[in-house]
C-alpha cells in the first residue's frame, strides 16, 4: 500500500513551505525586502556581474619579479658574507633561479656555508672549492613566499579598492597566483585599473651630488648608486638622477598620507611617518642638511628637494607637478601600502547595467515560457497526474531559488539557462514514473500495485540519470569562470531538488488524492 508516515508528510510539507518562504524575497525589490521585519527571511539571489552590470578583473601577481627581487637581494647578502669571510670570488651574479659565483681559492667552506645559512635558513647552498658555487632558495621557501605575496597583494588590492568607495567589491584568490576582482556597478574600470597597475613602492634616497650630470647620463656610476628617471613627462625625455642605493626611509613606515594644497593652489601630498620612520627620517635629514634627497616611487623620482633643515616631526610634504587627481591617487596608494609585486590584468569584462537588465529580462522570459510549455505538455500527456507533476515543478523552482538565496550563490545568465534547463529535466522523472505505471497497468496489475511498482521501478533509473548530470555539473564547476560556474551551480542544485520534488512531492499528492477521492482507476 502506498503510505506515508505522518512525520514524513510533515517533513515534505515543511521542506516545500521553507522553499516557498525562502524563495519569496526574490519576487520583491531589494529595497522593499530591506524594510521587512527582521524575523522574515530576506536573502535574495545575488546577481552576477553579467546581470547587474559591473566590472570583472582577473589579475595575476608577477611572481617572477618577486623572485628576481629576492635573488638580487641575495647577491648583496652573499657579497657581504664573502667579504666577512675574506674570501676572494669572481662572477657573483643571478643566473636563472639561483645565484652563482666562483671562489678564487679554497677557504673554510663550512664556515662560509654556516654564515650563508645564518643569513637565511631556507637557502640551498652548494659550495665548490673550485668551479662554480650556487646558492638558491628551497622550493618550500619560494612557495611560502609566493603564497604570502598573493595574500598580501589581495589585502593591498582590497584596501585600494575600498579607498575608491566602490560598493560591495569582491576580491578573492583564484588559483595559485591570481586575484579576481569584481566591482558591481562600475562601468568604467579605468581608474581602478590604473590604481591597481601601480606597485606604489616608495622610498626616500639621497641623491649622489658627487656624480657629474654627464656621467649620470652616460651611466657612469660609482658602486652603490643607481640611475633613476624622473616621473614627470617633460619634453625631451625624463631627467635622470644618480641616487644612492641605500634607502633612507621606506614608504612602509608611513602611517598616513593625504592630498592637500601648498602655496594656496598647488596640489601636494602630505604624509606622516610612524615613530621608527620619523626617527630614521630625522637622523638622515639631520646629517645631510643642504643636500638633495629623492622621493622615489616605483623606481621613478617624483621630486628631489634639498634638505633645508632637519625634519624631526615625522611629517612632510611631497610636491611634484601633481594634479588634484594624481595627488589624491598617490595619497590613496601610500595609505593602502605597496604591492609586493606588480599585477597584470589577464582578463577584463565590463557589462553595462542596461545590458544586464536586458539579460535578466530575456532569461526570465525564456524560463517562464519554458515552464509554461512544460506545464501544458505534462497536462496534455498525463492529465491529472501531469498537474501533480506541475505542482511538484513549482515547488522545485521555489526550492532551487531558496537554495540559491540561502547559499548566497551568484546567479548569472548561464545560471538562468540552467534553471530553464532543469525545469525541462525535472519532469523527466515524472515521465519515467508515469510511463512505468502505465506499463504496469497494461500488464494487468491492480491500480495500487501499479502505482507502487511505478515509483519503485523508476527510482533506480531516475537516480542514475541524475547522478550522471550531477557529475557533469560538478566538473563544470571546477572548470568554469564566473558565468559558467553559475550554470554549474544552478544545474547541480536543480538536479538535487528535482530528485526530491519529482519523486516525493508527486508521490505525496498521488497518495493524498487516492485517499480523498478513492478512485476506481488511474487516469493515465
Site for other proteins in 166-205 (CB under 8 A): 190, 193, 197
Asked if 511 is part of the footprint of other proteins (rule: CB under 8 A), the reply reads no
Does 10 participate in binding other proteins (rule CB under 8 A)?
no
Exactly one of 285, 318, 487, 502 binds other proteins (CB under 8 A); which one? 487
Nearer to other proteins, 19 or 363 (CB): 363
CB of 366 to other proteins, least distance (A): 4
Selected binder of other proteins within 423, 503, 505, 508 (CB under 8 A): 423
Residue 523 interacting with other proteins (CB under 8 A):
yes
258 makes contact with other proteins (CB under 8 A):
no
Does residue number 1 form part of the binding site for other proteins (CB under 8 A)?
yes
Binding mask 23-52 for other proteins (x = CB under 8 A): ---------------------------x--
Q: Taking Cα atoms as reference points, which of 411, 487, 418, 476 lies closest to residue 50?
A: 411
Q: 171: Cβ–Cβ under 8 A, 6 or more apart, which residues?
A: 154, 157, 158, 161, 179, 180, 181, 182
To other proteins, the closest distance from the beta carbon of 8 in angstroms equals: 16
DSSP of 211-258: S-HHHHHHT---TTEEEEEBSS--TTS--EEEEEEEEEEEGGGEEEEE
How far apart are alpha carbons 71 and 135 in whole angstroms? 10
In angstroms, give the least distance from the CB of 464 to other proteins: 4
Query: Which stretches within 99-244 are classed as H helix?
Result: 109-119, 139-164, 190-196, 213-218
Q: How far is the CB of 70 from other proteins (least distance, A)?
A: 23
| Residue 460 in grid coordinates | 533506480
Distance of closest approach, residue 518 Cβ to other proteins, in angstroms: 11
Candidates 480, 509, 511, 514; binder of other proteins (CB under 8 A) is: 480
Q: Which residues pair with 411 in a beta bridge?
A: 47
Cell numbers for 218, please give them. 652616460
CA pair distance 256, 280, nearest whole angstrom: 17
Q: How many residues does the chain have?
A: 524
Which of the residues 306 through 335 are near other proteins (CB under 8 A)? Answer: none
The interface with other proteins within residues 341-380 (CB under 8 A) comprises 344-352, 354-355, 358-359, 362-363, 365-367, 369-371, 373-374, 377-380
Count of residues that interact with other proteins, criterion CB under 8 A: 87
Q: Pick the closer one to other proteins by CB: 260 or 465.
A: 465
Q: Which is nearer to other proteins, 318 or 400 (CB)?
A: 400
Select the residue interacting with other proteins from 179, 332, 421, 493 (CB under 8 A).
421
382 near other proteins (CB under 8 A) = yes
Query: What dihedral angle (degrees, nearest 10) is formed by the CA atoms of 201, 202, 203, 209?
Result: 110
Tell me the closest approach of the beta carbon of residue 62 to other proteins, in angstroms.
11
Give CA–CA dist 119/34, Å, rounded. Answer: 58
**Pairing state of beta strands 46-47 and 410-411?**
parallel
Q: For 360-427, what is the HEC assignment? A: HHHHHHHHHHHHHHHHHHHHHHHHHHHHHHHHHHHHHHHHHHHHHHHHCCEECHHHHHHHHHHHHHHH
Q: How far apart are CB 295 and other proteins at their closest, in Å?
A: 24
Q: Is 460 in the site for other proteins (CB under 8 A)?
A: yes
- The site map against other proteins for 56-85 (x = CB under 8 A) is --x-x-------------------------
Interaction between residue 299 and other proteins (CB under 8 A)? no
Find the binding residues for other proteins in span 134-153 (CB under 8 A).
none
Kind plus residue range of the DSSP H or E element containing 204? strand 202-207
CB 335 → other proteins: shortest distance, Å? 24
Q: Of the candidates 299, 468, 512, 515, which one interacts with other proteins according to CB under 8 A?
A: 468
Cell of 154: 589581495
Q: Which of residues 183, 404, 425, 489 is near other proteins by CB under 8 A? A: 425
How far is Cα 416 from Cα 191, in angstroms, rounded to an integer? Answer: 32
The verdict on 465 binding other proteins (CB under 8 A) reads yes
Does the protein bind other proteins through residue 21 (CB under 8 A)? no
Torsion of CA 262, 263, 267, 272, to 10 degrees: -10
Measured CA distances, 419 to 53, 84, 189, 233, 517 (Å): 21, 70, 31, 54, 34
Nearest distance, CB of residue 461 and other proteins, angstroms: 5
Cα 311 from Cα 289, distance rounded (Å)? 10
CB of 410 to other proteins, least distance (A): 15
| Nearby residues of 506 by Cβ (< 8 Å), 6 or more positions away | 388, 389, 392, 430, 433
Amino acid at each position: 500500500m502506498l503510505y506515508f508516515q505522518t512525520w514524513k508528510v510533515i517533513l515534505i510539507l515543511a521542506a516545500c513551505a521553507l522553499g516557498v518562504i525562502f524563495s519569496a524575497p526574490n519576487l520583491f525589490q531589494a529595497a522593499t525586502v530591506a524594510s521587512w521585519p527582521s524575523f522574515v527571511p530576506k536573502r535574495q539571489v545575488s546577481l552576477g556581474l553579467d546581470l547587474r552590470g559591473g566590472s570583472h578583473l582577473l589579475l595575476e601577481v608577477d611572481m617572477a619579479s618577486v623572485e628576481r627581487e629576492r635573488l638580487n637581494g641575495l647577491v648583496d647578502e652573499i657579497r657581504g658574507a664573502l667579504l666577512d669571510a675574506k674570501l676572494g670570488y669572481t662572477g657573483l651574479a643571478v643566473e636563472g633561479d639561483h645565484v652563482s659565483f666562483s671562489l678564487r681559492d679554497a677557504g673554510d667552506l663550512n664556515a662560509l656555508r654556516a654564515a650563508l645559512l645564518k643569513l637565511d635558513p631556507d637557502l640551498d647552498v652548494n659550495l665548490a672549492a673550485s668551479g662554480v658555487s650556487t646558492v638558491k632558495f628551497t622550493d618550500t621557501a619560494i612557495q611560502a613566499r609566493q603564497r604570502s605575496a598573493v595574500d598580501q597583494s589581495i589585502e593591498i588590492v582590497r584596501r585600494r579598492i575600498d579607498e575608491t568607495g566602490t560598493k560591495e567589491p569582491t576580491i578573492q584568490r583564484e588559483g595559485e597566483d591570481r586575484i579576481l576582482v569584481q566591482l558591481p556597478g562600475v562601468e568604467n574600470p579605468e581608474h581602478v585599473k590604473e590604481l591597481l597597475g601601480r606597485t606604489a613602492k616608495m622610498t626616500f634616497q639621497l641623491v649622489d651630488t658627487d656624480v657629474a650630470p654627464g656621467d649620470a647620463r652616460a651611466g657612469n656610476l660609482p658602486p652603490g648608486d643607481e640611475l633613476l628617471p624622473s616621473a614627470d613627462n617633460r619634453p625631451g625625455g625624463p631627467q635622470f638622477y644618480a641616487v644612492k642605493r641605500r634607502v633612507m626611509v621606506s614608504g612602509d613606515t608611513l602611517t598616513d598620507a593625504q592630498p592637500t594644497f601648498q602655496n594656496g593652489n598647488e596640489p601636494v601630498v602630505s604624509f606622516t611617518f610612524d615613530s621608527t620612520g620619523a626617527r630614521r627620517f630625522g637622523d638622515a635629514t639631520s646629517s645631510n642638511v643642504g643636500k638633495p634627497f629623492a622621493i622615489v616611487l616605483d623606481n621613478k623620482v617624483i621630486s628631489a628637494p634639498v634638505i633645508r633643515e632637519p625634519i624631526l616631526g615625522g611629517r612632510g610634504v611631497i610636491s611634484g607637478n601633481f594634479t588634484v587627481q594624481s595627488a589624491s591617487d598617490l595619497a590613496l596608494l601610500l595609505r593602502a601600502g605597496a604591492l609586493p609585486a606588480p599585477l597584470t590584468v589577464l582578463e577584463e569584462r565590463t557589462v553595462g547595467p542596461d545590458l544586464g537588465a536586458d539579460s535578466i529580462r530575456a532569461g526570465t522570459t525564456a524560463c517562464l515560457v519554458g515552464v509554461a510549455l512544460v506545464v501544458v505538455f505534462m497536462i496534455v500527456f498525463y492529465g491529472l497526474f501531469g498537474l501533480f507533476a506541475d505542482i511538484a515543478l513549482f515547488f522545485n523552482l521555489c526550492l532551487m531559488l531558496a537554495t540559491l538565496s540561502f547559499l548566497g550563490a551568484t546567479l548569472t545568465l548561464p545560471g538562468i539557462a540552467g534553471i530553464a534547463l532543469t525545469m525541462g529535466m525535472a519532469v523527466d522523472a515524472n515521465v519515467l514514473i508515469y510511463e512505468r505505471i502505465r506499463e504496469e497497468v497494461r500488464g494487468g496489475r491492480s491500480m495500487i500495485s501499479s502505482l507502487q511498482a511505478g515509483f519503485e521501478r523508476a527510482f533506480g533509473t531516475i537516480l542514475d540519470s541524475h547522478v550522471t548530470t550531477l557529475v557533469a555539473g560538478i566538473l563544470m564547476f571546477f572548470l568554469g569562470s564566473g558565468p559558467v560556474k553559475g550554470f554549474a551551480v544552478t544545474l547541480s542544485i536543480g538536479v538535487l531538488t528535482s530528485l526530491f520534488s519529482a519523486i516525493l512531492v508527486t508521490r505525496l499528492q498521488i497518495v493524498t488524492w487516492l485517499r480523498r477521492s478513492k478512485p476506481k482507476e488511474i487516469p493515465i
